[in-house]
Every structure is written in structure tokens, then in C-alpha cells.
Structure 1
Amino acid sequence: MSIEARPAAGSLPPSQPGQGKRTKTRLRRRIDLLPYALITPLIVFIIVLALVPAGMTLVQSFYKAQPLNPPNSFVGLGNFFRLFADDTVVSSMVNTGWYVLIGVVLSTVLGIFMAVTLQKPFRGRSILIAVLILPWALPGVVEGIVWSGIWDSNTGLLNSVLTSLHLIDTYQVFLGQNQFVTILLIEIVQVWQMTPLSTLLILAALQNIPGELYEAAALDGATGWEAFLRVTLPLARPGIAVAMVQAVIATLNVFDQPFVLNGAAATGASVTQQIYFVSFQNLDFGQGYALSLLVTIVTVAISLVIVRLVYRTVEF
């Protein structure tokens, strides 16, 4: 006669093999959903405000979209052909090329110089960095208005200084006369805005360079210039690359400074100004979409080239 063991009253039945593991797995899955739930609003925000407009721009750039001349119709590459046949648009592309070249070179060189100056702690360094950020914090329209007091042909500071130094006899018109001079003076205003950000990006890269490397270079007999070329520049390339990319994006999309300082004059008009004029003055949204798409493609292409040529992974 066999006696079977039965659980005592009020006791829980024995757990099945693997039941505890399944419970832990379900709990872990519930916990793993939390990060996705947290980033969902950001993903929705990016899709609604970035990807959807980008998709609409891509599609509509191949359509004739003129509210005063309906209906919309598919024209293929017709919008792009009409853009390149427009002398005003082509001139703005040339102007923007100069904006990019001057802006990227000046902001990067000045950013490196200022970052190296601020690399080592000194008295008043934090105050100087705070002052440095101010031009970057100002809107482009405000900067254009401020600098118009310098470039103005009637009461401008530049004319006043040059006249006082007897370098010129009469006040000169600097903006709107010569194309290169106009672009250079306008781009100086934008460089004044972009350089603080370039400086901070490069300075962040310099702060990661160990001081022992400079000590080793000094022991090897390297001068300050040689240490800059062989230690500072190579190890700061990630920050320099990021600074150059942000400068490319800013200069390719420059609008406020040319519009405030030079209006709609062709001597300094940028591509983004032409996007505005074509879309909202000519009410030709198809061409506006096409020109916006071209700017986006060029921005991505130049940024990839800079990252490819300049950026390097640095490990200490």
C-alpha cells in the first residue's frame, strides 16, 4: 500500500520547470519597452516636421505647382531645366558658392585660432567664452541690422574710419556695386555669427587631448608650431570636421544677412533668397521645391566629402 504525498492545506502548488524563467522573460520584455516609449514622441516629431516635408519636397519638385495656374501636373525634370535656364537663379548659385568657400575657410581658421587660445586655463577665460557666444546667440536679422551701421554708405562706421585716416576722399558704396566685395562683406557678418560655434566645437576636441602628449613632444625637441601641426591638428580633426559641416549648412542656407544688407540685388542674392522669391513672389512652388531639393542634395554631398576627407576617429 503506497502513500501519496499531498500538499498541505494553504500551501502553493509546486512551480513547473521553466515557469520562473518565462516570468522573468515577460518582465524583462515589459521593461525593455520603456526606452521605445520614451523616444516615440521624438520619432513622431522628426517624422512630422522633417521626413514628411522632405518627402513632399521630393515629390512636388517634379510637378508644376502654380496656384494661379491650375491644375498641378507632372513635368518630370522640367522644373530643374527651367531653374538652370534662369540667369538670376544661376547667379545666386555662384554667389552661394562664394559664400560657402569664404565662410567655411574663415570660420574654420578663426575657430582653430580661438580654440587654441582658449585651450589652456587663464584668468578671465570663462568670461571670454561667454562673450564669444553672444554673436552666435543673436538672430541673423539683428546681426544684419547691426552691421548695416558699419557698411552703410552714408553714415557707416567703415566710411568714417577710412575718411578719418585719409584713405578715401568721399564716402563709398560698399554693398551692391562689386559682386565679390558685396559677397565678402556680407559673409564677414555671417562668419561673425558662425565662428563662436566653430570655436566651441573645436575647443571640445582640444580638451580631450592629454597633456602628456605635449610634454612628450617638448621632450623630443618639438617647437610650439611643430606641436600644433603634429599633435593639435591631427587630434582635433573630429571637432574640425563637425565645425566645417555646420559652416557648410549655414552658408548654403544663408538668407538673413544678404536680405537685410543687400535686399534683392543680384550682386549678393543667395540660393535661399531665390527659393523665397520663386515660391512666394512668383508663386511657382514647383520650382521652389526643385531648388530646395538641389540645396539639400548639395548640402549632403559636401558634408559627406568633408567627413570623408577631414574626420578621423581618435583614440587615446
Structure 2
Amino acid sequence: MTRPPLDTLPRTPQDTGADRDAAPGARRRRRFDPLPYLLVSPLALFIVALALVPAVFTIVESFFRVDALDPPTRFIGLGNFRSLLHSAAVRTAAGNTMLYVLIGVALSTVLGIVMAITLQHRFAGRSVLIAVLILPWALPGVVEGIVWSGIWDANSGLLNSVLTSLHLIDHYQTFLGHGRLETIALIELVQVWQITPLSALLVLASLQNIPHDLYEAAKLDGCSSWAAFRRVTLPLVRPGIAVAMVQAVIATLNVFDQPYVLNGAASTGSSVMAQTYFISFQNLDFGAGYALSLLVTAATLVLSFLVVKFVHRTVEF
């Protein structure tokens, strides 16, 4: 004889009583518990007050004429954006900033990958080297600009001294402010020195997640070190590379400290964020400054999205 399915068997009074006993417990588990929300609410309110409120204020004020020398505040629609598009200084700064982005993202990503691969395997002094590597990233941008101004200085700079001692030049040269591309490249080298350690650590974190068995299998298949890097390491480390590139995009699009300290208000190396500062706090045209900040934010979001879309890939081991 075949036994009937369990779900067709008659339920005993004991089973029914157990269900009745379990029902109040289930109802108790479904009761609303306000404690987690109370614990999270201070941080949530702090984030809203610190980030969202200024963001909304910036968006709203970018459509108004906010000039301390020409009160009162009045609505002008897209007037601030039109004035920015017709400003030669803003267009020059936008071109400079795109060069900062191209140079900074490319160099920091390549150098970050090289450093991460170097630090992937344990060796003597590895921890000390990682600690030293983090130092440039931990320093404020203003401090780095001051330190590097002693290297690029035209009168007593270290670079001029070294090149003169090696007889590569016969007199001191002016490196910053002499040519646009040269100035942008030298200033961006300072920022690359700052952001590359973070890129290296992000890529290194992805490298640590790659199983060593994959490299052994690639070696058994006859892959060289370069082939294993192209076919194993590079595809599996793309999530870390994408995050490193996004942080480099954000840093280079919003570069301000290094150009301002090393080049001042000169147009040869001015960035968009430097122009935001000049428009807002020197010209006191806060409406146009809000509008330019909004444009930089939109450009940052768009470029970051493109990096994630074309570089990032989901990796499962």
C-alpha cells in the first residue's frame, strides 16, 4: 500500500494547538520596532543637513542673480548658464580641466595597476612600503602644492638645480606658466602623486580576491606572465580599476588646490573649480558660481557613469 501524501493527512489536535501557540509569537515578530530607526536617524539627519540641503540650495540659486554688489536677488532663468558659456575664462578653464582629467586618470590608473601588482605578493618591507605609499594621499592638496613649488620654482627650484648640476641646461628655466600644455602636465603630475596611492590600494584589494588556482591553471596551459596578466588578472580586476578610475575622475574634475597654489590666477593652468572660486569670491557673482558648480557636478556624474558602464564588469569566482 502506498501512503497518502503528508499534506492530505488529517491534522491532530496537538498540531492545531501548536499552530495556535506559534501564532502569537509570529505576530510579536511582525511588530514594528522603532529602535533601529532611532539609532540611524541622527546620522541620516546629519547627511541630509550636510549634503542634500546645500545641493538643493545650489540648484535653486543657480537660476537667480545673486550678486552682493547688485542686490536684490532676482530670478533670471538660464541667464547664469548663458553667461558662463560666453565667458572666455570659463571656456579656457574647461579645456584645461579636460586635460587634467585625461592626464590624471590615465597616469593614476596605469601607475596604480603597476604598484598593485608589485605589492600583490608578500616580501620583506611590504608593510612599510604600503605605509609610505599612503602618505601622499593623506597630505592635503595645499601642502602638496607648497612642497612641489620648491621643485618647480624658477629661481631656486630643486629641478633646476639638478638639471644645472648635470649640465643638461645652462641656466634656470621657468617651467610653470611658460606654456599651457607644459604647465598643465606639471601641475597634474602633482595631483597624480596624490591620487595614485588610492588607485593602487583599490586595485590591490581586487587582486587579493583572485584565487591563486587560476594562475596555476594558466601556467599549466602554457601562459606566459604577460598572457596570464592579460587573460586572468586584467579581466578579473576590472571592478577595482573601475572604482579607481571613478575616484580619479572626481578628483581631477574638481582639482583646485594644486593649480591655485602652483599657478595662481594665471589662465595657463586654471581649472573650472578655480574659476568657480574667482567668480564667487572675487567677482561676488554667487549665482554664476552656483551655476558653474552645478555644471561640474553634472559632468562628474556623467563621466563617472560612463567609466562604470564601459570599464566595470561583474566578477564571480
TM-score by length of 2: 0.92
Q: CA deviation at 1:25?
A: 2.6
- Structure 2 counterpart of 1:25, one-letter code: R
Equivalent residue number for residue 82 of structure 1: 83
Partner of 2:12: none
Give 1:260-299 correspondences, 5 Å limit: 260-299=261-300
* Aligned AA (2:179): N
Partner residue of 2:44? Answer: 43
Residue number in structure 1 paired with 2:153: 152
Q: Distance in 2 between matches of 1:186 and 1:254?
A: 10
The DSSP-based 3-state class of the residue aligned with 2:31 is: helix
Q: Distance in 2 between matches of 1:21 and 1:297?
A: 53
Give the AA of the match of 1:214: Y
1:1-316 equivalent positions in 2, closer than 5 A: 21-22=23-24, 24-26=26-28, 28-31=30-33, 33-316=34-317
For residues 279 and 29 of structure 2, the distance between their equivalents in structure 1, rounded to whole angstroms, comes to 57
Q: CA shift at 1:30, angstroms?
A: 4.2
SS at match of 2:175: coil
Counterpart residue identity of residue 60, structure 1 = E
- What's the % identity of the aligned pairs? 67
CA distance in 2, matches of 1:152, 1:298: 33
Q: How many Å apart are 1:29 and its aligned residue? A: 2.7
Structure 2 unmatched runs, 5+: 1-16
The separation in 2 between residues aligned to 1:21 and 1:192, in whole angstroms, is 63
| Larger deviation, residues 81-90 vs 40-49 | 40-49
Looking at structure 2, the residues matched to 18 and 294 of structure 1 have their Cα atoms a distance apart, in angstroms, of: 62
What's the CA shift string for 1:169-223, capped at 9, x where partnerless? 1100100110010000000000000000000000000000000000000000000
Q: What amino acid is the match of 2:121? A: K
* 1:22 to partner: Cα distance: 4.2
Give the SS at the match of 2:315. coil
Instruction: Work out the CA distance in 2 between the residues paired with 1:19 and 1:41.
Output: 39
Structure 2 distance, partners of 1:63, 1:26, is 54
**Structure 2 CA distance for aligned equivalents of residues 21 and 274 of structure 1:** 66
Give the 4+ runs in structure 1 shifted more than 6 A.
Answer: none
Write the distance in 1 (CA, Å) between the matches of 2:124 and 2:170.
Answer: 44
Following the alignment from structure 1 to structure 2, what is the Cα–Cα distance between the partners of residues 110 and 210? 23
Mean alpha-carbon deviation: is it higher for 39-48 or for 258-267? 39-48
- The match for 2:5 is none
